[in-house]
Structure 1
């Protein structure tokens, strides 16, 4: 049974927040994030959950958080359940650091429509969809609790005082280092890390990497072995990301705009999305995906969280 939402009440809990995908339980010094099976696109939560999607996101994020901990301190403490992560509570920065190595997705749509400045970054004429950029660029966005995230430039972030300049320089440095590591790890798996986003928080003056890292919801991957051939033929890239969900929605007349209705998601389509998420996990990590017991996932999750809350070593 896919996990649409949770509504727990834990001892010592001080707050609760439901995001597009995660249910977040707050405690004085930590957060418990439950990755549901909800799926969003164009900042809209789609009506049907995707089996095992939350497990894929949670376990992919764990894999990369542990693999990049030598580069950037991060929030993760423990993963007591396939859908649950427990970590340090900190003050999040109100920007997402989007790093792009290729002209794809949102960046391509902006470029195609004639824009040559993206978040204050100048792009040259003559680029094609999916071209590799001369160097990776950072195109930040505001972090919206509701509605759409919005593109924003480095200059706007600093002038509006959203982040101090010294902190922002650190965010840039960390984001580019993470993207380089992610690129190397993807190449080892025959993949190209096309673009991704990172979120950071502040804990007692220290910048901390938070949320998910290099997952199918936050990242786009191309298959390296077919990249050049597809590019020369001006054909869509074979990729691992949820861009195929966005493309399906666009083809069916939905881009999250006012008055538009989400198209009906058939059982076959839901199963296909689930399979693509599992494929990404196995391809990007090199590990077999072990499906969690979904007989009563809410009971399983609650039991595992309660055990963690009584563990004084965390």
Structure 2
């Protein structure tokens, strides 16, 4: 069985605090820097599955790095170094507590709201007469709150400004960057025979400047359709072929788990774990057009600690 990274417990030089999310563990180094470690944990229905997925963290970290480097001409981002397949080192920013969700197509949460009869989402009008997975006339931005605990919630531009989460000037910058980043992602996806359906971006402030944070255009933060056959499937009202972790959710549903009260997480068999690993590797290769090189996971924690310490010392970050 391939080894996976499900927990981390490092103590780097000048480490001040640690934040552990569903997938990523963030180590704060002094006042200026962070070390973000992409684990092999996988979540669905707001629950972390009990088994790790080997190489999933490497896939997410390297896809995010690929797109951060491909968009740094649009705005600065937090990334400084990638010293290890699972690790990114970057600038510490003051997070802006909203997620900028952008949707090019009527699917997922937007479709569920539309099907329920709503024609406004986060203060944005949605046209009449649309079908599931149809493109919007223009991509729409539907922000959500960035909850410290619990679920994120939809919020409108008016509510963001009324609550003083950010100034009008900063919010309009976020809108501009969101459209530009999404357009770049759409163009890059099309080159790979894909449609970037929807995605989300997180931003922060550093030295009075808006900076792109976290991951972008990964299968955990974005939805992709296959371009080939898209229109035919729409014309025939057939489901679209997706490139995402949706198949994991479907497996859980088939095993009577949707994160509801009283439901018990099923045991994940090793053959399914191996399948999920393979699917994530396929995602990486399809999205980036690059061959995936499996890192040595024999002593994954030692490898990560050694590579990260070298980066922090070599760049005099500490």
Q: Please, which moves more after superposition, 302-311 or 123-132?
A: 123-132
Q: Secondary structure at the match of 1:287?
A: coil
Answering whether residue 114 of structure 2 is matched by residue 111 of structure 1, we say yes
2:229 alignment partner, SS class: helix
TM-score (norm 2): 0.95
Q: After the TM superposition, which residues 200-219 of structure 1 pair with which residues of structure 2 at under 5 Å, given as runs? A: 200-219=203-222
Is 1:224 paired with 2:231? no
Could you tell me which residue of structure 2 aligns to residue 288 of structure 1?
A: 291
1:76-95 pair list within 5 angstroms? 76-95=79-98
- Residue by residue, what CA displacement relative to the aligned partner does 1:9-62 show, whole Å, maximum 9, x if unpaired? 111001100011000000121110000001112322222111111000000000
Equivalent residue number for residue 58 of structure 2: 55
Change (3 A) 1:154 1:252: farther
1:143 to 108, 121, 146: 146
Equivalent residue runs for 1:259-274 within 5 Å = 259-274=262-277
- Residue 181 of structure 2 corresponds to 178
**8 A Cα contact 1:43 1:147, kept in partner:** no
Rounded to whole Å, the distance in 1 between the matches of 2:38 and 2:158 is: 34
1:187 aligns with 2:190: yes
Change (3 A) 1:164 1:43: farther
Q: CA RMSD in A?
A: 1.4
Superimposed CA distance per residue, residues 151-177 of structure 1 (whole angstroms, 9 cap, x where no aligned partner): 111111111111221111111110110
Q: Which runs of 4+ in 1 moved over 4 A?
A: none
Given the two structures, how large is their TM-score scaled by the length of structure 1?
A: 0.96
**Equivalent residue, structure 1, for 2:165:** 162
Contact 1:74–1:210 at 8 Å: present in 2 too? yes
Unaligned runs of 5+ in 1: none
Deviations 1:50-102 (A, max 9, x none): 11110000000000000000011100001000000000011010011011001
2:24 aligned with 1:22: yes
Judging changes above 3 Å, is the alpha-carbon distance between structure 1 residues 244 and 119 closer, same or farther for their aligned structure 2 residues? Answer: farther
Figure out how many residues of one structure are paired with residues of the other and give that number. Answer: 314
